[in-house]
Amino acid sequence: MQRRKLRVAVVGATGAVGEEMLRVLETRQFPVSDLVPLASERSRGRSVAFRGKPVDIRVLGKESFQGIDLALFSAGASISREFAPQAVRAGAVVVDNSSAFRMDPEIPLIVPEVNSEMISRHKGIIANPNCSTIIMVVAIAPIHRLSPIQRIVASTYQAASGAGAKGMDALLREVEGENQRSTSVPLNSRAKDSPFPHRLAGNLIPRIDVLQENGYTKEEMKLVFETRKIMGLPPIPISATCVRVPVERAHSESVQITTRDPLSLEEIREAIQNSPGVQLQDSPREDVYPMPLIVSGEDDVFVGRIRKHPDERNTYDLWIVGDQIRKGAALNAVQIAEKLLDG
């Protein structure tokens, strides 16, 4: 794709990630000649703001991609499976934020800071990884370059934003109901139309996505399989536990890795400091470490609480936080598009 102004379609433009994509395209001055925001029939008659002007939303259909150069998809796997191939046939390159194509061996799964060299292998569609995977691999890839990782154990603390605008809205309504101390509404009540199986405010929910036959959830297995594909790992042991927490935005992760060779904490910190897209925030004695309140809205992934395991050989623990909507979705997609332009 040549460095020129492009006609860009955003599929799912009214969702939380779609809206963030529009902000990222604007703030990073991506060369958009024409913006085509696409959404479902429910959004007919609405508009989105882009570069200080309203842009009318168009209803997604078979003819939506004529003349489009780049299509950013964030409307769910079923929409992507139906419309992404149509966009490619119309001449567009697709960057898809859903799970539809991530594990297809013919489709690159890209985190630009980690495996941008794979972008050139695309055949019209490039997959954007799951948010938790993006946040983790950006943080651990610098260590993997020092010494190959042999094992990963991850526990994720995922914000309401992982369920989109509906998730954030449900948490906000639950918190507001708690603050009002209404006698007519039980304090343990779940928000109406919540995407979560239980009340989230004041609670933790140790299930994200559907349970698989092995007892792990689909979200947990995404982290396993996607990490291996992005980092080019052999089938090393990777285990994940994904938990929804009552935080509006930004996911946190406790990650333990075992490397082939012994590393000093100074080597690990230096590798993280010198890598793009990640910041070191590791002064726990001064209570300086990554937290969702600080990281929300930031482009980078933040890493702290770096420790050497007291008993396990070549094993290290890290605390990682990243904005799920931004780097975990919208920004990563636009960075992929930027790499396409750079050739």
Which pLDDT score is estimated for 183? Answer: 47
The structural domains of the chain, with segments of one domain joined by +, span: 6-129+329-342, 133-324
Q: 0.85 cut: is pTM over it?
A: yes
Of 122, 131, 144, 242, the active-site residue reads: 131
Of 122, 144, 242, 251, the active-site residue reads: 251
Q: Do domains 6-129+329-342 and 133-324 have the same CATH topology?
A: no
Chain length of the chain: 343
Q: How far is residue 73's CA from residue 18's CA, in Å, rounded to a whole number?
A: 8
Which pLDDT score is estimated for 88? Answer: 98
CATH architecture of 133-324: 2-Layer Sandwich (3.30)
Q: How far is residue 80's CA from residue 72's CA, in Å, rounded to a whole number?
A: 10
Neighbours of 235 (CB within 10 A): 8
Q: How far is residue 165's CA from residue 254's CA, in Å, rounded to a whole number?
A: 25
Q: How far is residue 258's CA from residue 251's CA, in Å, rounded to a whole number?
A: 22
Which pLDDT score is estimated for 3? Answer: 61
Looking at domain 6-129+329-342, its CATH class is alpha beta
Mean pLDDT of successive 10-residue segments in the chain (343 residues)?
82 95 97 96 93 96 96 96 97 97 97 97 97 98 98 98 94 84 62 95 96 97 98 96 97 98 98 97 97 97 98 98 97 97 85
Q: How far is residue 239's CA from residue 242's CA, in Å, rounded to a whole number?
A: 10
Active site residue 131: yes
Whether the CB-CB separation of 53 and 35 falls below 8 Å is answered with: no
Active site residue 251: yes
